[in-house]
Amino acid sequence: MRSSFLKRRIRHKSNDGTKAKALPTAFTIIGAAVLLTACGNLDSERTVKQTQQLTNDVLEDSEAAEGSKSGEATKTAEGSKSGEATKTAEGSKSGEATKTAENSKSGEETKATEDSHSGEDTESGNKHNTNGVDNSNPDSNINENTVKADDVPEGKVTAFGDKSTMNNTVGERELPIYCVDTTENKVALSFDAAWGAEDTKEILDILKKHDIHVTFFATGGWVESYPDDVKAVLDAGHDLGNHSENHKNMSELSDEDKKEELMSVHRKVKELTGYDMYLFRPPYGDYDNSVINVAKDCGYYAIQWSVDSLDWQNKGVDSIIDTVINHKNLGNGSIILCHNGADYTASALDELITKLEEAGYEIVPVSELIYADNFYLNYEGRQFSSF
């Protein structure tokens, strides 16, 4: 099973490489240079050779992402048959294959900043903005989450903001948020849920022990298969994000199908919990301009990652901890990618959290890191406040 998915990932990588060559040379070099300067080189093993060393660094990140696709997609297939949703191989900026190749500078998947990006959500000037939400269309993410004001941490985004003030455009590409610009020592920890749920309770218990909240991105299959876990995630105060209905490569779908992949899960979660999701992570980290725009039209922030734990490679507890703690892109505003259902993630989580805290980082959910609106992105996908 893993072998077939691995071949599929390699194929996608070639496609990305081909598309990347179609981008203007000047744009590719400039993008890669900015990425290198702002967020650091990307980690993935990439086979696509570029004439520019800067571009090679960006390609590394994309490779990791594709590797993630491979590892996650494998369990995904198996999970899908067993009632589990396709595993989010989206695997990582550092490891997720981002078709962002079309969408980003290095000419290759700009998973590019996967290793940085971090920040706080600011609602049009401050945070918690609910402007720009279209309540007339049931298929638009209406994000009117009923959260008591006293229960909302300062700076937390609780709904989709004012789309007219959001600028995801960089050159000719539309980018998701890879990390956020912030002076605060905050990082967001996220888990893609598409494989299984055997370790979900253990993960939630560890997070409770450390009194921290994180973000879970769930597929439609996972929501259907593990409704109690979905409720447990929300009841514990964590973010619940959308990871698509069937964990497909979103850039290969029509706009209509893209929307359905998003809204199908949205409706399931709304019916099950009454909660309106507003955070979306593309499967495999795969996106193009249309994916970002459709997500925004549906009331979703597209979220990537800047640090991939590579837990989907199942290399052991120490590997996960070392990969994150020693990651070249770990810093203020980083978004860290993990997966529930991976073999060693739950076992590594307690020590990983401890080491991050010892390094001076406050762990927060994505909703407490990003800006709600009035923002723009740079070539690496780092989110900046417009103020």
Both tokens assigned to 221 = 């299959």
* Active site annotation includes 150: no
Both tokens assigned to 163 = 């789309």
In 20-147, where do the E strands start and end? none
Active-site residue identified among 16, 239, 339, 373? 339
CA distances from 146 to 97, 293, 359 (A): 35, 26, 35
Residue 210 exposed, middle or buried by CB count within 10 Å (0-12, 13-18, 19+): middle
Going edge to edge, which strands form the sheet with 375-377? 166-167, 375-377, 382-385, 179-180
Separation CA 331–CA 337 (nearest Å): 14
* Active site annotation includes 339: yes
Three-state DSSP state, 223? helix
Query: Within 10 Å of residue 82's Cβ, how many Cβ atoms?
Result: 12
Separation CA 135–CA 133 (nearest Å): 6
Active-site residue identified among 16, 43, 61, 192? 192
Helix and strand numbers, DSSP H then E, in the chain: 10, 14
CA distances from 377 to 181, 260, 331, 387 (A): 9, 26, 17, 13
Both tokens assigned to 202 = 């253990």
Instruction: Kindly list the catalytic residues.
Output: 192, 339
